[in-house]
Structure 1
Amino acid sequence: MLFLLLHLVLRLKEWLLKTKIYFFNLVDLSSNPLPQPSTFPTILNCNLEGRKSQTLVCDIYDILLRTHSFFPYFMLVSFEGGSIFRAFLLLSSCPILMFLSYEQKLKLMIFITFCGLKKKDMEMTSRVVLPKYYMENLNLKAYEVLVSFGCRVFFTNVPRVMVEGFLKEYLNGDDVIGSELHTIGCYFTGFISRNCFIDKQSALLDYFGDRKPHVGISSTCVNDHHFISFCKEAYVVSNEICPSSIMPREKYPKPLIFHDGRLAFFPTPLSTLYMFMWLPIGVPISIYRILLGLILHYKWSLTLVTFSGITISLKTISNTKKKLEQKKGVLYVCTHRTLVDPIFLSMSLKKPLTTVTYSLSKVSEILSPIRTMRLTRDKEQDRKTMQSLLSEGDLVVCPEGTTCREPYLLRFSSLFAELTDEIVPVALQAKVCLFYGTTASGLKSLDSVFFFMNPWPCYEVEILEKVPKEFTCGGGKCPYEVANYVQRELGNALGFESTNITRRDKYMMLAGNEGVVQKEK
């Protein structure tokens, strides 16, 4: 029955995309009123030479971002900073938004998104969730103009707290002037201060006084034309989106290595509707998939797990697999993508494995179908623990110490290299479409639930050749040299970039702590 429902929902999604529901297109709000013909030249005509001592002013929406809708960003704040109920309320407001004016639409979305929201939750969302989506939607042409100027000042109608962090940290903005939200204590009320949005034209004159900015960039909206007319030079960004305007990852202003939040898609009204339609089916399917691993033997669960919609791709050399099946005490060194990495490796090899973990929640330990052992971060004690486990059978370690969603490998701890010379690197990659199965600031006990809630989660398992004897400690190499060698091999297999970033760095950025779960007294 679950599979029939899964098929029906996916069919409905295809129908919605093919018929292009115009109702939701109307609500997928542009950040400005309707565009008007412009007398100003496009940014393609802007000369970028000798601009480092000059000032540029612009907005972020409709100019720096390729998407012309700010609804998805309010949805991200509602879901990640607020709750699923707040997100559902925002989605439910779409029929009302369709009949409101531009300012009324923005005010209603601000009220639903921010009323009762804690300031610290908004700060977390603006720091670790929104930058990913801003970065992926940057307009390459507009960005190239922006970075050629030494001073950058932004004026926007959207709440300043939603954009200031990204504009200053990633785009080196000198100042951000946006709508201010009213607060009571540590909570937002959902209202705009003085009950009005900023007037960009007045704000620009107040900010610069008698000085005129060198260049102003706006959208094709007639209101913004008045705004940039006070600049020495004025240009507009066309509403057309072409492939050449998409920002490639290698041109990002800063590497996007860490981000948090559960949503793995850009939450437009249509995609958010699909998510809520999927939830009543996704939750039972997630529970079913977890129970399969608990109840069934690892040799049989692989087939039924695949029938449930999970795709597992195993790539290995046949003679290597035979050797691994015959040997015991093999140390599998894996990349760390989600909590269930060792489980999928165990199912792929059809053999029992033991894994060691840091700060694993009690719920995850109970739900794990394979044996888990906690480490203490005391190097000597952890070495003894892992050596003891290796003497009993095969062991799985993830020397990064934490997960990373993007195509990067964190620094490998060298402890595993001191344990044995029987080291087999395993390149793991997890792909999802709705929910991320990892978190740094949320409830880690729900990680596996969210991962299995995806309609078609995919795991790619590639077992590499055993580390040659001459590249092990037994062959005369130092532990850190072995760790770097294994990291390099796994990075090459996956096409990932190796870094020196550590687990501590990740948690300090995303959660403001060192990622250590305190023991209950």
Structure 2
Amino acid sequence: MKMEKLMNSRKSDLKTHSVIAELEGILLVSPSSFPYYMLLAVEAGSLLRGFALLLVYPFLLFLQHYVSKSMAAKILIFISVAGVPFQDIEKVGRTVVPRFYASDVRRETWKVFKSCMKKKVVVTSMPEVIVRPFVQEYLGGDEVLGTELEVDNKTGKATGFIRSGDVSIGDVRKTVGEHAPVVGLWGVDSGHRFMDLCKKNIVLQHDSSAKRAASNDLEAISIFHDGRFVHRPDPVTALLLFLWMPLGFILSLLRIIIFLGIPLRLARSFLQLSGVRIIVHGSSIKTTGVGHLFVLNHRNNLDPIFVCISLGRCLPCVTYRLNRLFQILSPIPTKALTRARNVDAATVSELLKESDLIMCPEGTTSRGPYLLRFSGMFAGLTDMIVPVAINTTEGMFHGTNFNGSKIIDPLFFFMNPFPTYEITFLDSVDGEHSCKSGRSRFDVANYVQKALGEKLGFKCTTLTRKDKYVKLGGRNANI
């Protein structure tokens, strides 16, 4: 049956059907699993493991086309996960892979998959632990049939081997039931094994030019995501990234030395000479007084430092998570908060009596075009609040990562060839919107968040820092 004919049929005709669909090249535009194994190797393992995967890729291509696809897949899995804690593999499936999958969903097959209202099953060549979070959350799928990783019960680490081979007809029949009407979405090379199970079969060629579904058309959007790579590490992209890394590391160290070795008033010029773009909008407040609270949305651990560079002044900042080494190396004074509201309020009040102050009330970095709910603690401590909108652009590496030490985040940000910091100072919160006029501290916090969101074009959410860490940490939460 042609795709056009099925798509032109009424959606109600498919409501009573289950659906089985291949992931690679059918539900997704790209037929290659290599980028996701690279993400798995780097994010759950290390850059060295990812480099090893890249080195053997030409051999794996030869093996796949001329010897055995199954053998090539087993080698991919072994290099990617051997000796890696299984909980880290699960974390990559929840926090890194879904964003890249979501940007590659094939629009025409997604519409068919979504229209079937009974059981939805996805067949993949990948380990199911990597694919399942995306399929269930973003595609509304029920089951994922893929390979199962073997795990050492004593160490909790993947052995690199698999417990089961390719998905069998029996696996599919058991999952969808014996007599259920089923729509099958298959590739030319693999669908013939399962066609007898389906009432309607759609067989498609892989098409790299196929239109992709809009991200807001999926069952969920990617608010919380993680990982170092900005772009999907396809073989060519991964090669360019690894070729750049030695030079990028040297460039990053040079930029960090500039950060630490020269006065802030000179840092902006020197950083821009090194390729870091710093764009400042709005009226930079040059007050020499005390009590101004600069309230930032949080994109990177370097945010307060770049605000100080933009102001040409060394101001203290407060933060919830503070690495001791980062505190020592930071060119501006930093103070850790305890998350005990009374203690933190007293700390901020004392600092405001001595100087202006910088705070990121989101409480954590937020990478996407969304703002997490602002803490209202800051709003009742001063009426001299200056919202500061922060946006960053990285070409290769993100300067934040949930998994790993936060001290190396600036290193990766500065490894980008031409990273950008865009800083916009908004008008101070006036009397009408301050606590002095009778507004609650939550109203003031919401007003500041809305002002920043409108300026940046970001969506304000009611999600909190706690929601983020529950989500990325893998515990069940109603987010």
How does the TM-score come out when normalised to structure 1? Answer: 0.85
Report how far residue 327 of structure 1 moved.
4.7
- Determine which of 69, 72, 77 is the counterpart of 2:40: 77
Secondary structure at the counterpart of residue 123 of structure 2: strand
Say whether 1:350 aligns with 2:312.
Answer: yes
- Determine which of 359, 363, 366 is the counterpart of 1:401: 363
- Determine which of 288, 299, 302 is the counterpart of 2:254: 288
Report how far residue 53 of structure 1 moved.
2.7
Structure 1 equivalent of residue 421 of structure 2:
459
**2:138, 2:220 within 8 Å by CA — same for their partners in 1?**
yes
Secondary structure at the counterpart of residue 194 of structure 2: helix
Structure 2 equivalent of residue 93 of structure 1:
56
5 Å-filtered alignment, 1:422-433, equals 422-433=384-395
Secondary structure at the counterpart of residue 120 of structure 2: strand
- Determine which of 269, 273, 280 is the counterpart of 2:239: 273
Q: Specify every segment of 5 or more residues in structure 1 that has no aligned partner in the other structure, as ranges.
A: 1-39, 515-521
Q: Which amino acid aligns with 2:240?
A: Y
Structure 2 equivalent of residue 125 of structure 1:
92
1:391-424 CA-partner distances (Å, limit 9, x unpaired): 2221111111111100110111111111111111
Structure 1 equivalent of residue 11 of structure 2:
49
**1:44, 1:141 within 8 Å by CA — same for their partners in 2?**
no
5 Å-filtered alignment, 1:232-243, equals 232-242=199-209
1:251-282 CA-partner distances (Å, limit 9, x unpaired): 23112111122222211111111111111111
Say whether 1:469 aligns with 2:435.
Answer: no
1 CA distance for matches of 2:309 and 2:273?
14
Q: Which amino acid aligns with 2:37?
A: F
5 Å-filtered alignment, 1:88-487, equals 88-101=51-64, 102-150=69-117, 151-185=119-153, 186-193=156-163, 196-199=165-168, 201-208=169-176, 210-221=178-189, 223-242=190-209, 245-316=211-282, 320-321=283-284, 324-325=286-287, 327-487=289-449
Report how far residue 136 of structure 1 moved.
1.3
Q: Percentage identity across aligned positions?
A: 38
1 CA distance for matches of 2:397 and 2:303?
16
Q: Which amino acid aligns with 1:432?
A: E
1 CA distance for matches of 2:344 and 2:395?
36
Report how far residue 235 of structure 1 moved.
1.2
Q: Which amino acid aligns with 1:108?
A: I
Secondary structure at the counterpart of residue 344 of structure 2: helix
1:345-397 CA-partner distances (Å, limit 9, x unpaired): 11111112111011210121112111111112222222222122112221111
The 1:241/1:274 distance shift into structure 2, 3 A limit, reads closer
Secondary structure at the counterpart of residue 62 of structure 1: helix
**1:78, 1:113 within 8 Å by CA — same for their partners in 2?**
yes
Say whether 1:61 aligns with 2:45.
Answer: no
Structure 1 equivalent of residue 473 of structure 2:
511
2 CA distance for matches of 1:419 and 1:451?
33
Secondary structure at the counterpart of residue 93 of structure 1: helix
Q: Which amino acid aligns with 1:157?
A: S
In terms of mean alpha carbon deviation, does 95-104 or 498-507 score higher? 95-104
2 CA distance for matches of 1:44 and 1:289?
58
**2:253, 2:411 within 8 Å by CA — same for their partners in 1?**
yes
The 1:197/1:43 distance shift into structure 2, 3 A limit, reads farther
2 CA distance for matches of 1:374 and 1:118?
31
Secondary structure at the counterpart of residue 108 of structure 1: helix
The 1:63/1:297 distance shift into structure 2, 3 A limit, reads same
The 1:193/1:390 distance shift into structure 2, 3 A limit, reads same
2 CA distance for matches of 1:454 and 1:59?
36
The 1:249/1:166 distance shift into structure 2, 3 A limit, reads closer
**2:351, 2:357 within 8 Å by CA — same for their partners in 1?**
yes
Report how far residue 307 of structure 1 moved.
0.9
Report how far residue 208 of structure 1 moved.
4.7
Report how far residue 226 of structure 1 moved.
4.0
2 CA distance for matches of 1:257 and 1:239?
29
The 1:44/1:345 distance shift into structure 2, 3 A limit, reads farther
2 CA distance for matches of 1:230 and 1:305?
62
Secondary structure at the counterpart of residue 27 of structure 2: coil
Report how far residue 161 of structure 1 moved.
2.0
In terms of mean alpha carbon deviation, does 337-346 or 386-395 score higher? 386-395
Q: Which amino acid aligns with 2:3?
A: T
Report how far residue 512 of structure 1 moved.
5.2
2 CA distance for matches of 1:407 and 1:267?
22
Report how far residue 466 of structure 1 moved.
1.1
1 CA distance for matches of 2:426 and 2:318?
21
1 CA distance for matches of 2:306 and 2:391?
11
Q: Which amino acid aligns with 1:198?
A: V
Q: Which amino acid aligns with 1:125?
A: V
2 CA distance for matches of 1:48 and 1:104?
43
1:191-245 CA-partner distances (Å, limit 9, x unpaired): 2335x3223x443345456425421111232x313423431111134433447x2
2 CA distance for matches of 1:491 and 1:105?
47
2 CA distance for matches of 1:406 and 1:152?
29
**1:409, 1:497 within 8 Å by CA — same for their partners in 2?**
yes
Q: Which amino acid aligns with 1:60?
A: L
Secondary structure at the counterpart of residue 216 of structure 1: strand
Q: Which amino acid aligns with 2:157?
A: Y
Q: Specify every segment of 5 or more residues in structure 2 that has no aligned partner in the other structure, as ranges.
A: none
Report how far residue 156 of structure 1 moved.
2.6
1:123-154 CA-partner distances (Å, limit 9, x unpaired): 11111111111111111222121111122012
Report how far residue 510 of structure 1 moved.
1.2
RMSD in angstroms over aligned alpha carbons?
Answer: 2.0
The 1:374/1:183 distance shift into structure 2, 3 A limit, reads closer
Secondary structure at the counterpart of residue 61 of structure 1: helix
Structure 2 equivalent of residue 21 of structure 1:
none
2 CA distance for matches of 1:206 and 1:435?
43
Q: Which amino acid aligns with 2:272?
A: T
